Amino acid sequence: DPPPSLDPANGDDSNDPSSSSSSSSSWEKERSRLESQFRSLPIWERNRDLCTEGLRILERWHRDLEPPAWRRIEKRAAKELNESEPCLRYASEWLEAATAGEADGSVVGGDNGGGDDDGDDDEGTPTSSSSGKATIVDLCSGFGLTSMFLSELLPPDRVSRIWLLDKMWPCAGSDGDGGSSPPGGRVNVDHIHGREWPIPLRLRKTDIKAGREMRQVRKYVIGPSEGPVLVLGIHLCKALSVHAVKLYQSSPKITAMVLKPCCLPGKNMMYRKKDPIVWRFDNGYEFRPRDVYYRPAEGRSVGEGEEEEKGEDGRAEERARKEDARRSSSASEKNALEDNEGAENPISGGHGGKNCTNERFSRWVDHLRRACEDDRCNVSVRHIDITKHHFQNQFIFCERVAPSSTISK
């Protein structure tokens, strides 16, 4: 139904019973649809309390935001809350341990679950309890729903701000008025600027692959933080996870990181003849793209700038290895198809199962884990089923202080 027209004498329709009834009816329809989506996702069994609180939060957003902004949110809300639930829960537990004072009853936790290049050296040393408010940095935030939920779920008196970093945000000084994406950005920001947030949300246009931009992040985002910093990297595609690890290692103010790798680094990275790619980290660990795609026992892969001399036996062995890999991938797709009760292509979904087997993804995660490890850092990899038909369910949790998380495998 069209909204009732405003009475010029009153200036608004806030006391109009018909308006209130219409809004309530509209929300009940939205709620029913959202709850149905939650029930179909793993989060419904893993953390039903968060689903309930999530619906309350979504009701406030439905009330506060303009219809176009709300429509963009409601399409993504259930999926994003499901996939970010382990990070939301960890953030609550980390905040409890990393900042002074008592928690105020956050409902995030469920009981089941699956040095600066610019020369700045005033960042200090992290401790398990800091006198300043915490800062959260959401790398490659995309639409920003994870940070939006964090702003609603965490105690505002213990978090100063949440930074949303993404190369698709508009340039500094732009705004999102006018109902379309402003120049310099591809993500409409009306859903961020359309209301006040309990914990302020700050947008920064950043390409985390660009060294200069990451130096600015360390100087202007990490450096001024009053207390400890938590870095979140959820669904980082390809080699973006490498840049997240390097940011984590770059500042002692970053006391924790949650990393959720998405797909593998591009296979074409293996074939650079000039300046082959080698990822090196502050703890001395290093690995190359080919180390992700091939087991150590398989040795060097063909095509990295050097041709291997092969006889007939060698070529036959290579063909057999490729056939084994193809059968393994086909078996994975068949199993997922059966689990999905016949639905087509359940494991593709933009991530592709064809050249990304479970074994390779686990190897990718293990290399990232080793890159994070040192004698001042506790690192764990936990398998948490956030999707039914994808195998990208591994989370890397890093802490510079004593571990506080109780998230189970």
CA distance 337 to 300: 34
d(CA 99, CA 261): 27
Asked whether 188 and 227 are in contact (CB, 8 A), the reply is no
pLDDT at 222: 96
Say what the pLDDT of residue 227 is. Answer: 92
Long-range CB pairs of 277-286 (<8 Å, 24+ gap) are: 279/239, 279/242, 279/371, 281/245, 281/246, 281/249, 281/371, 282/246, 282/249, 282/250, 282/374, 283/249, 283/371, 283/372, 283/373, 283/374, 285/370, 285/371, 285/373
pLDDT in tens, the chain (409 residues): 444 433 333 344 445 544 455 667 789 999 999 999 999 999 999 999 999 999 999 999 999 999 999 999 999 999 999 999 999 999 999 999 876 544 344 445 454 333 444 444 444 444 444 458 999 999 999 999 999 999 999 999 999 999 999 999 988 755 444 334 444 557 889 999 989 999 999 999 999 999 999 999 999 999 999 899 999 999 899 999 999 999 999 999 999 999 999 888 988 888 888 888 999 999 999 999 999 988 775 544 444 444 444 456 656 666 676 666 556 545 544 554 444 444 433 333 344 444 345 888 999 999 999 999 988 899 999 999 888 777 788 999 999 864 444 444 3
What backbone phi and psi angles, to 5 degrees, belong to 159? Answer: -130, 125
Give residue 337's pLDDT. Answer: 40
Length of the chain as a residue count: 409
Domain 130-301+332-399 indexed as CATH 3.30.1360: no
pLDDT of residue 41: 94
pTM: 0.73
Spatial distance between the Cα atoms of 91 and 405, rounded to a whole number of angstroms: 9
pLDDT at 119: 41
